[in-house]
């Protein structure tokens, strides 16, 4: 059905990776689709995880629908206020993807900014990379320039850094510092390491300060720079490389930490059993 490693691995890709790139979920979710027998390649069931395919020449169908094998698109957008990050809105409100009328690919946002927020958004059709960038395990830093009513004191900023408990989880900022004051309001620079629903607005309200404006200025290595509100551009090759290096670097660090914990556990286990056996004298 598909070429194997021996038949030319350079021309083929693992099926679950192709499905993830098509926006069907994380690679693990796509593996579940394969194992459930919901995927067919060239008319035949593909229910093995080792299957490799050539998306340029082979017909791939999931639940009876042919998937798109369009080339990967990566865009940086300065999102305006009033636009939604969802691809489907029953009320017909403006959506971020409406700002890309000339792009035929099936785009979606990497993470979300709420309707009343603006700033940097990555927009792509690469489901696998999008899933990795927003997953909490990778701790991708996000920076926000936030204007709030009043002047937060030292205890308030400390509470943001220490973390606040809400009904749907524990929220905290990684760093928080004052930039300037304007009249009866204050501008802050906040760094978060994961995105939650209206997280900043809810934390600021908890310490007694209403958010007046909120703008994301950076996401990992991506910088908003001078990109005007409502405008977008393609990611530069160096920016895309930096995103992938960030993900690969965190995955490597996580693997090293696991190995270190295993070694420590073995050492502790030997000590509890009385240490290693003494060498025999010759």
Domains and CATH numbers, the chain: 5-66 (3.10.290.10), 74-234 (3.30.2350.10)
Query: What distance in Å separates the CA atoms of residue 44 and residue 179, rounded to the nearest whole number?
Result: 60
Q: What is the mean pLDDT of the chain?
A: 87
Which of 68-82, 169-183, 198-212, 219-233 has the weakest average pLDDT? 68-82
- The pLDDT confidence band at residue 57, using thresholds 50, 70 and 90, is confident
The single residue of 42, 59, 63, 114 carrying the catalytic annotation is 114
Q: Is a pLDDT exceeding 50 seen at residue 2?
A: no
What burial letters (b/e) apply to 62-99, b meaning 16+ CB within 10 Å? beeeebebeeebbbbbbbbeebbbeeeeeeeeebbbeb
Q: Which of 69, 67, 20, 72 is nearest to 40 (CA)?
A: 67
The band of 257, judged by pLDDT with boundaries at 50, 70 and 90, is: low
Question: What is the DSSP-derived secondary structure letter of residue 252?
Answer: H
Least trusted range by pLDDT, from 98-107, 118-127, 246-255: 246-255
**Across 265-281, average pLDDT:** 58
Give the C-alpha separation, 63 to 53, whole Å. 18
pTM of the model: 0.73
pLDDT at 268: 57
User: Can you tell me the distance from the alpha carbon of 258 to that of 107, in angstroms, rounded to the nearest whole number?
Assistant: 35
Nearest residue to 157 (alpha-carbon basis) of 148, 168, 166: 148
Catalytic status, residue 5: no
Note the pLDDT of residue 56: 79
């Amino acid at each position: 059905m598909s070429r194997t490693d021996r038949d030319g691995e350079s021309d083929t890709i693992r099926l679950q990776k192709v499905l993830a790139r098509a926006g069907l979920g994380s690679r693990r979710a796509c593996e579940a689709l394969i194992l459930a027998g919901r995927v067919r390649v060239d008319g035949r069931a593909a229910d093995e995880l080792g299957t490799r395919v050539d998306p340029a020449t082979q017909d791939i169908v999931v639940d009876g629908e042919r998937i798109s094998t369009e080339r990967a698109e990566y865009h940086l957008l300065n999102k305006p206020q009033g636009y939604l990050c969802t691809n489907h809105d029953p009320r017909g409100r403006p959506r971020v993807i409406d700002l890309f009328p000339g792009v035929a690919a099936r785009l979606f946002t990497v993470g979300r900014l709420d309707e009343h927020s603006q700033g940097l958004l990555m927009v792509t059709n690469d489901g696998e990379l999008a899933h990795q960038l927003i997953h909490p395990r990778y701790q991708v830093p996000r920076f926000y320039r936030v204007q709030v009513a009043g002047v937060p004191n030292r205890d308030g900023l400390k509470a943001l850094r220490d973390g606040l408990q809400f009904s749907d989880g524990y929220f905290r900022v990684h760093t928080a510092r004052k930039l300037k004051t304007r009249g009866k309001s204050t501008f802050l620079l906040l760094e978060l390491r994961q995105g939650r629903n209206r997280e900043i607005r809810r934390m600021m309200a908890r310490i007694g300060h209403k958010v007046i404006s909120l703008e994301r200025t950076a996401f990992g290595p991506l910088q908003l720079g001078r990109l005007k509100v409502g405008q977008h551009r393609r990611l530069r090759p160096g920016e895309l490389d930096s995103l992938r290096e960030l993900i690969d670097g965190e995955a490597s660090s996580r693997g090293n930490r696991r190995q270190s914990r295993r070694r420590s556990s073995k050492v502790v286990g030997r000590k509890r059993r009385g240490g290693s056996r003494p060498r025999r004298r010759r």
